[in-house]
Structure 1
Amino acid sequence: MIGKLSLLVAATLLTQTFPAHAAQDSLHRAAQEIVDLGATGVQIRSVRDGRVRTVAAGVADLVTHEPVSTEGRFRIGSTTKPFVATVLLQLVAEHRIRLDDPIEEHLPGLLPDGKTITVRMLLQHTSGLYEYLRNMPLTSDDFPKYRFKHFEPEDLIEIAAAKPLDFRPGTAYSYSNTNYVVLGMLIERITGRPWGAEVTERIFLPLGMDHSSAPGDRIRIPGRHARGYQQAGRSLVDVTEMNPSLAGSAGALISTTADLDRFVRALVGGRLLPRTLFAEMTRPLPFTGGYALGLETRTTPCGVTVIGHSGGIPGYGTVAFASLDGTRRVLASLTFGHGPGDDAVRALVDKVVCA
């Protein structure tokens, strides 16, 4: 799936005297629990008040049994969306586009309802656009048919545009990757450059995210990485190699936990957006379940408001969240095997953010 793994943090804030070695042991236990629940591997990076801890568990390869590296690269799935949203908001800051512009104004004829769907609605999943992945679910037995196929963004939009809207634009929330495929096309229309080139130029290079990339049609993950698996019946299929154009600007990026940490730290630290636009980015509507403009936002039971995004793509799951003051951050990559489910991922984030 290219979809979000919801963040529902529910843990008790420990005292400031909690020993450092105990925190590291707790992180190891959290990682191992994910593997015990069916993941082939996991790596976690936790930052608390400037102290960085990294752990890994499981194996990177079921054949060689190589251990998971805490520096390995991985596909980040829908954690791509905050990068795309940040570029769009930078273009807003440059007065090259407005949040409430109808998409028809910039991409005429692309969407039948383009006159009523705005940039803001696309960013917040309130456009009502049909989810194109309903026609090609990535967890189905049909995945091998399109695993290595090249898709133009227009191909994906055509699937959605042929279907009626799920609801009248602006009146409800429904997570749809179609929104962010349109936004990728919008970035290219405004800048004259592919969305991935803009993410690289505006975010990767300034932040020193040297191990992050927009892969285009490249099927392999560069550098050291854990292999990703997908369940097919009772067996596991290695799906590490795939053409990520199927995900495009909705979920194709590759990164590391250290690089994702650079991004979330810079975002909450005001290095990427003016304060007013960051406030827009983190302000959900009452009916969006905490989803704002490319970010999931939530005030946890420990009293800490966190923002970020989670993601999934065949073989890989990602979480990247930070508190609004940047003092607590959690970045993790899971390689799926026979699990785990969303509940286990939520529990992992619970333990890291609120420990």
Structure 2
Amino acid sequence: MNANHWAGPRRRDRLGLRLAAVAVAGATVATLAPTAAVAAGVGVPAAVAEAERPGPAVDLGPELRTLVERGGATAALGEVRENGRRPWRDAAGVVDLDSGRAVRTDSRFRIGSVTKTFVSTVVLQLADEGRLRLDDPVERYLPGVVPNGGAISIRQLLSHTSGLFDYLEDQRFLYHDEASLRAYLAEGRWTDFRPEDLVSVGVGHAPYFAPGQGWYYSNTNYILTGMIIRKVTGRTWQREVERRIVEPLHLDSTTFPNTSTRIPGPHAHGYIQLPEGPTDVTRLNPTVADAAGNGISTTADLDRFHAALFGGKLLTPARLAEMTTVVPAPTIAAHYGLGLIRYDLPCGEVWGHTGGIPGYNTILLGARDGSRQFALSFNLLEGAETDETGAAIDSLFLKAACGPDGTGKTGADRSQSPLKLLR
């Protein structure tokens, strides 16, 4: 995973271009010129918008529009939830660059690694039911799949302390030039992957460290976790998330597809910048992400999920305490629990996860006591980032978490956000 705050195109050139970042090495960085519709913002009738926003305590609309107008995003939408109410919800940008139609606040989007929090919640429920133990070795459920699997626990998978190599860092998932990126766009993004295929790539590399002796964000951990859920329950991890979380909470716009390349319902398109202009990457085969990041949702559903999780509706207090027991995550300047990130801000702690997949970036964060949530999706035109991109995202993040001045304290020093968007 990228270790610096906001990796611009030059930095990504040095790292190699991963599937999750998908930018053009060496291509000219072009700022997206906003159309009138992009600048206009909200894509819902005024009467509906007013009903959705009863007296906002914080207005993040200007930041959303900055991200679109000057930060290289084609669309951005967000929602704040406080004590079960929705004081703010807004959107800026367009559904697609061809039509220029304004994006709706209820649009669906790919959530990337925010999927991990759903998957971890299911595992903790299974532990509460006595169907597995977090300190059981991987070998018990997936014999012969992982070298040294007897020394790696489920807990270490969930906390990224297993040391297993991230399959997305293998050369076959990296793009070093324009030709290889074009090959991905034409053929690679339609490829079907089995979870076993992805794990095989990951375990084909030497581990980063011995189990429990460090921290490194590795998507291989959650592919294995999804396989363990299937072994224990006899059902796919997608079905277990649906029956245990999505259906009870009525997250009607949240899905976890298998091979379907489409996003159902209203949604903004995702793009990658090529020398001749933006290329639509909305449709792709999500099996490349599987239990590490294939989900689709809305800001409203994500906020509802976060509120239920931290409000004690999905886990017992003891299991939630385990989920929020963290280890240092130095490469993202944060702390990591079991499928959860803790960021320490000027105004205190926030909990949740971030995610990215080609064309889409997601932030879901909130208070530990379940009183406040913030969900944001933005369609960054990869390869068209500007000097204002990172600052706009930081401002949204800090203002949503800490209040209008971005600190939670009048006159307090605003330090740089530690936010890292994880794939």
Structure-2 residue corresponding to 1:127: 162
Q: How does 1:234-313 map to 2 (within 5 A)?
A: 235-286=277-328, 289-303=334-348, 305-313=349-357
Q: Residue 112 in 1 paired to residue 147 in 2?
A: yes
Q: Offset at 1:299?
A: 3.3
Structure index of larger Rg: 2
Pairwise CA RMSD of aligned residues?
2.1
In the alignment, the residues of structure 1 paired with residue 198 and residue 391 of structure 2 have an alpha-carbon distance, to the nearest angstrom, of 30
Count of residue pairs brought into register by the alignment: 340
Q: Residue 335 in 1 paired to residue 368 in 2?
A: no
Q: Offset at 1:312?
A: 0.1
Q: Residue 318 in 1 paired to residue 353 in 2?
A: no
Q: Residue 165 in 1 paired to residue 207 in 2?
A: yes
Q: How does 1:22-33 map to 2 (within 5 A)?
A: 23=57, 26-33=59-66
In the alignment, the residues of structure 2 paired with residue 224 and residue 5 of structure 1 have an alpha-carbon distance, to the nearest angstrom, of 33
In the alignment, the residues of structure 2 paired with residue 43 and residue 287 of structure 1 have an alpha-carbon distance, to the nearest angstrom, of 28
In the alignment, the residues of structure 1 paired with residue 147 and residue 326 of structure 2 have an alpha-carbon distance, to the nearest angstrom, of 26
In the alignment, the residues of structure 2 paired with residue 215 and residue 348 of structure 1 have an alpha-carbon distance, to the nearest angstrom, of 29
Amino acid at match of 1:247: A
Structure-2 residue corresponding to 1:13: none
Higher relative contact order (CA 8 A, sep 6+): 1
Aligned residue for 2:353, secondary structure, equals: strand
Amino acid at match of 1:160: G
Structure 1 unmatched runs, 5+: 8-19
Retained in 2: the 8 A contact 1:5–1:311? no
Q: Residue 40 in 1 paired to residue 54 in 2?
A: no
1:257-279 CA distances to partner (integer Å, 9 max, x unpaired)? 11111100000000000101101
In the alignment, the residues of structure 1 paired with residue 301 and residue 174 of structure 2 have an alpha-carbon distance, to the nearest angstrom, of 26
Q: Offset at 1:184?
A: 0.5
Structure 2 unmatched runs, 5+: 7-53, 404-423
In the alignment, the residues of structure 1 paired with residue 352 and residue 3 of structure 2 have an alpha-carbon distance, to the nearest angstrom, of 10
1:38-79 CA distances to partner (integer Å, 9 max, x unpaired)? 100100101234343101111121000011111011110000
Q: Offset at 1:237?
A: 1.3
Q: Offset at 1:138?
A: 6.4
Structure-2 residue corresponding to 1:11: none
Greater CA deviation, 326-335 or 260-269?
326-335
Structure-1 residue corresponding to 2:401: 353
Amino acid at match of 1:350: L
Q: Residue 174 in 1 paired to residue 222 in 2?
A: no
For residues 87 and 151 of structure 1, do their structure 2 counterparts lie closer, same or farther at Cα, with a shift above 3 Å needed? same
1:120-141 CA distances to partner (integer Å, 9 max, x unpaired)? 1100001111111112446661
Amino acid at match of 1:339: E
Q: TM-score, normalised by structure 2?
A: 0.76
Amino acid at match of 2:363: V
Amino acid at match of 2:286: P
For residues 219 and 51 of structure 1, do their structure 2 counterparts lie closer, same or farther at Cα, with a shift above 3 Å needed? closer
Greater CA deviation, 204-213 or 29-38?
29-38
In the alignment, the residues of structure 1 paired with residue 291 and residue 184 of structure 2 have an alpha-carbon distance, to the nearest angstrom, of 19
Q: How does 1:132-171 map to 2 (within 5 A)?
A: 132-135=167-170, 136-137=172-173, 141=181, 142-144=183-185, 145-171=187-213
For residues 257 and 22 of structure 1, do their structure 2 counterparts lie closer, same or farther at Cα, with a shift above 3 Å needed? closer
